[in-house]
Amino acid sequence: METRTYRAGGCVVTEREHSMPLDHASPDDRSITVFTREIADRDGLDRPLLVFFEGGPGMEAHRPTVSPVSPAWLKRALKDYRVLLLDQRGTGRSTPVGALDGLTPPDQAEYLSHFRADSIVRDAESIREELGVERWSILGQSFGGFCVTAYLSHAAGSLREAFTTGGLPPVGAHTDEVYRHTYPRVVERNRRFYERYPDDRKRVEAIHRKLDAGELVLPGGDVLTPRRFRQLGLWLGMASGRERLHYTLELPPESWAFLHDVESALPFARNPIFAILHESCYADGCITDWSAERMQPEEFADVTLFTGEHIYSWMFEDYGALQPLREAAELLAKWEWPRLYDAEQLARNDVPVASIVYVEDMYVERALSERTAAAVHGLRVWLTNEYEHDGLGVDGERILERLFTLAKESS
């Protein structure tokens, strides 16, 4: 383990690189590096550890500022904890996942199969043991909540308490059920968007005419296709998503500003795990077979409707950066994924758990989250329509304060 410690503002920051097996079931085979950044108030070096699991999949942990401390949830957390920011395997400063040059598609697929929540939890457990921590607390945002639920399933004895924000997964559900619920949410968000900005529908129609003619080329060289353009609807589940989409659409479509904003808006080229493993992060013992593509409802024949957090097979053609993983993606779509969660263990859970569930969450369906909440013994839920999916980033201090209180009440 390589370690570097320094002081910044009123905090002590410790950066570590941990060596991990790619496959925890075969620890003597290929290894990777997992990076963590521990942040502590200078007066709180003896406080317990809170591990943060970022959303995604395939996104690194927040890059915080410490003078002043930001984001706001981190400021609140540091009052009670030292916070361990985990760059989940394949992200940030951990060993990166790219095109996996030199590997055959079957080898690429086998390599990438080790980057789901179950492997991330095993990484965290190895780090906990390496640091000599008996038990710690965990916090998961969005996909990070899937990691928290997997942790409660497989290593609950290592936990003091657990928190999730917009991230209770659909335990035991097929991925088809996930998209059967989320597509109507996206249709509703489109309706609200055009209700607020009715003139944008004509703008979108005009942009599609240019896209159909192949007239718009992104700065990186990819032709902007109509189906790729529609993925800007990914924004619509965030607090400022409608405004962000509107302000992009008001730019001249042939302008560098518009083309740059569209290219940088979608994270799939920068974070390939998000594209290649998104459906599998829901796969609790099933084959996904491009669920979102198969489950897309007829309403989306209307090209002015934007899509949401849905992954499609054509992305590995339209995104140049993803093309080297096209065959691996097809193999993973047919992969027989093992179970992520242990329903029996969750039913007898004795770890204090508190979760915020957003009533109209566009990404993690409320009904499925509530079903999981009811199946986890002792879990306390804060169900609210005050926030969108990014509530932790919008009002993190208040949200953590409430979750911390709920966990104490359940212990």
Cα→Cα distances 293→3, 176, 183, 223, 303, Å: 44, 10, 11, 21, 15
Active site residue 114: no
Q: How is 65-96 classified by DSSP, letter by letter?
A: EETTEESHHHHHHTTT-EEEEEE-TBSTTSSB
Catalytically annotated residue among 280, 361, 369, 390? 361
CA–centroid distance for 229 within its chain = 21
Task: Kindly tell me the burial class for residue 276, based on how many C-beta atoms sit within 10 Å of its own C-beta (0-12, 13-18, 19 or more).
Answer: buried
Catalytically annotated residue among 94, 119, 137, 142? 142
**355 beta partners:** 164, 381
End-to-end CA distance of the chain: 34
Find all residues with CB under 8 Å of 297, minimum gap 6, and list them.
183, 184, 187
Nearest CA-CA partner of 137 in 409, 410, 340, 407: 407
Active site residue 361: yes
At 170, list the tokens: 């659909």
Active site residue 212: no
Determine the Cα angle at 107 with ends 121 and 295, to 5°. 70
Task: Kindly tell me the burial class for residue 71, based on how many C-beta atoms sit within 10 Å of its own C-beta (0-12, 13-18, 19 or more).
Answer: middle
- Active-site residue numbers? 142, 361, 389
